Amino acid sequence: MEIKNNVKNLAIAGVLSSATTLGAYKLFLEKSSSDSLFTNTPSAFTRMVSNAGALPAGAPGEFTFAAEKATPAVVHIKTKMTRNVSRQMMDPFEDFFGGFGGGGRRQQQEPQEASGSGVIISSDGYIVTNNHVVQDADEVSVILNDKRELKAKVISTDPATDIAVIQVKSNNLPFLTFGDSDGIRVGEWVLAVGNPFNLESTVTAGIVSAKGRQNIIDRDKDVNPLESFIQTDAAVNPGNSGGALVNLKGELIGINTAIYSRTGQFAGYSFAVPVSIVKKVAADLIKYGNVQRGYLGINIAEVNAKLVEEKDLKVSDGVYVGGFPTTGGSSAQSAGLKVNDVIVKIDGIETKSMSKLMELVGRKRPGETVVVTVNRDGSLKDFNVVLKNKDGNTNIVKGEVAGNAVKSDFLGAKLSNLTDGEKSKFKVSGGAKITEIDPEGRLGYQGFDKGFVITKIDDKAITDAKEVADVLANRKGRVKIEGIDVDGTRVIMVL
């Protein structure tokens, strides 16, 4: 697993957990925006109620119930990929004549393998893991707790939360039910179950040491991360990525994603995406192929002592409204919010930090309404805000699922088809959008960005992503590319 060397010396990691259902049960659906998922299939989106009574909570320090409940739904994920590796070429004349010639570097494709963990969330094989576990994978396989190995399909991914959903073809699988990440408290015992160093079904214990952690992981410049991590001291290591953090009832409360480390190994702290975010993101990825994000349309800052003094605020905790975007309209401004308001609650839940506000809003989709409570000059006021998407409307936009992404070795990129909204935006009838770029590939060398839309190849109009790959398959020599850059600029380039 690759170590990220940033200011905090963080390394990607995580853990796995999940659960079988013990005893007889009946199902009823949670009243949430995910109700339409798995209505006829037992899953984490349906709540389990024992006919014999409530599940035992587990006494403090007693971990066997949760471990036995979680372990059967732990999966070990293995991936295979091909990456371009830069190699130094040695010039034989340089060796013989002592510096006469010149070496150089060349790109060479090499197969690579990686592994991680995952959590089964439905009996018919949907699995939640980390985006970085399956990113760029050509093949994904899953090893179940009963040692069966199955091929998996990537349903879709969300880099902003580092969450992905994959699926295997199987039935009657054990799965983990969703717990309440809002209700967990600092100091509460939790378990991490995963596959560190390819050691299957490893269980570790720790406590919740903090909530709402942010600025944990470096992301690509074009990804706006949604971070509100649960911090624990349960030991996790490389190979645990994409697995779960569970409470003593064996319920999923988070997907562990990162560790604090100077060496790449566990050094005392790990970070998990709370299940409040996971279940919404997973539902969107399965239902729409991408995450539907609602926006308040405000510029925010976290309230601190300096801001209180400068702006003469009447409250010391909350999220400060510093302004509104100049384009696209603002849902919050339309609802009545003003500059210098301090947001103290969303739907009745306190927002003492920006990460908490972003988490609460991140659970909603465009078109949904949230109640925003603000402190305005010492008085509390409620506003009903209808969230919009990033384009300034309330439309639900279906995305291309990750499994349908098309890879072009000639370009060194992955591409997807344009949505109807993108076709309308760029005023084109067809084309292919670049979703991933190998920095060592042709497009990478030329400085192309993700989001660039290819509309023509050698003056021939392009219909979709598959056509790009087909036209360029086994291509030799130079090629003329026409398209639209992310800023709307029309581009013609010969590669």
- 8-25 confidence digits (pLDDT tens): 333 333 323 332 222 222
The predicted structure's pLDDT at residue 96: 45
83 within a domain of the structure (yes/no): no
Contact 290, 159 (CB under 8 A): no
Count: domains in the chain:
3
Q: Are residues 376 and 433 in the same domain?
A: no
The predicted structure's pLDDT at residue 59: 57
Q: Domain containing 265: what range?
A: 10-77+116-287
Q: Are residues 163 and 273 in the same domain?
A: yes
Q: C-alpha angle with apex 130: 128 to 134, nearest 5 degrees? A: 100
Domain final residue, candidates 225, 252, 287: 287
Q: Are residues 123 and 197 in the same domain?
A: yes
Domain final residue, candidates 287, 316, 341: 287
The predicted structure's pLDDT at residue 219: 57
Residue 88 C-alpha from the chain's centroid: 35
Annotated catalytic sites, by residue?
132, 162, 241
Contact 112, 168 (CB under 8 A): no
Measure the CA–CA gap between 319 and 219, rounded to whole angstroms: 24
The predicted structure's pLDDT at residue 112: 85
472 within a domain of the structure (yes/no): yes
Q: Are residues 158 and 18 in the same domain?
A: yes
Which residue do the tokens 């406590």 mark? Answer: 207
Residue 209 C-alpha from the chain's centroid: 23
Contact 355, 227 (CB under 8 A): yes
Q: Are residues 52 and 180 in the same domain?
A: yes
Contact 281, 265 (CB under 8 A): no
160 within a domain of the structure (yes/no): yes
- Tokens read off for 424: 């309308």
311 within a domain of the structure (yes/no): yes
Please list, in sequence order, all residues whose beta carbon lies within 8 angstroms of the beta carbon of residue 424, skipping any fewer than 6 positions away: none
Q: What is the CATH number of the domain that holds 142?
A: 2.40.10.120
Measure the CA–CA gap between 19 and 145, rounded to whole angstroms: 11
Tell me the one-letter amino acid at 86: S
248 within a domain of the structure (yes/no): yes
The predicted structure's pLDDT at residue 445: 77
Q: Which stretches in the chain have pLDDT values below 70?
A: 1-36, 39, 47-61, 83-109, 215-224, 261-262, 327-328, 398-404, 420-421
The structure's pTM equals: 0.72
